[in-house]
Amino acid sequence: MWWAAGLHPYYADQSNDAVWTELKHIASDPQFVAVGEIGLDYAKCPIAPDVQQRAFRRALDLAIEINKPVVIHCRDAYQDLMPLLRTYANAFKKIHPDSPGVVHCFSGDQSAAEELIAFDFYLGVDGPLTYPNAHALRKIIQHVPLKNLVIETDSPYLPPQSQRGQRNEPLQIATIGNALAVLKNQEKEIISKQLLQNSHRLYRLK
């Protein structure tokens, strides 16, 4: 099992030197592969945006210092996420030659998708891809190159449409992968092989 750790924006007000020192310490574990979830959440999080942004910057600085990719959480905050990431573009390319990380459960627009891909980020595809009203998301993902995607479950949240109202589980990754194969009009074997390669590249697994 490989794992990641970070300070979710729901807890951004707990950001302090001790937290980041402890995270840096546990990141020395050989199975530790990424800093996350970190990011911005303006949808439900009661913590002020400026506090979230400061914690997010601390997390990005740490990820660059320890040379680990990031797992970014972003809800209703792409208007602040993208300008912030631009300030780190050069550092990302210097420290992370393959990819700086993934924007988990991508929910941005076409412009954000294109810019994130230009920064070599992966876009996370989750259960919402299967939701009947997710037309805009499917249109965006349909045009994103497969080499820039990873699939996720976000369990126990966001189950696929066939499991709505139930607890999401990691086994639903196959359901999401099948939906992506249909959307991309690709054989499942081809999709699964590329997605595995993407995950290995993202988390630098051998």
Instruction: Write out pLDDT tens, residues 102-146.
Output: 999 999 999 999 999 999 999 999 999 999 999 999 999 999 999
What distance in Å separates the CA atoms of residue 204 and residue 116, rounded to the nearest whole number?
A: 19
3-state secondary structure of 22: helix
Sheet of 122-125, strand order: 3-5, 32-41, 70-75, 101-103, 122-125, 149-151
Residues 6+ apart with CB under 8 A from 67: 95, 96
What pLDDT does residue 95 have? Answer: 77
The pLDDT of 175-201, averaged and rounded, is 96
Average pLDDT, the chain: 96
Length of the chain as a residue count: 206
Distance, CA of 140 to CA of 134 (rounded, Å): 10
CATH topology of domain 98-206: TIM Barrel (3.20.20)
**What pLDDT was estimated at residue 138?**
98
| Crossing angle of helices 78-86 and 49-66, rounded to 10° | 40
Q: Which residues pair with 91 in a beta bridge?
A: none
Is 90 exceeded by the pLDDT of residue 98? Answer: no
| pTM for this prediction | 0.96
pLDDT bracket for residue 175 (50, 70, 90)? very high
Q: What is the mean pLDDT of residues 166-195?
A: 96
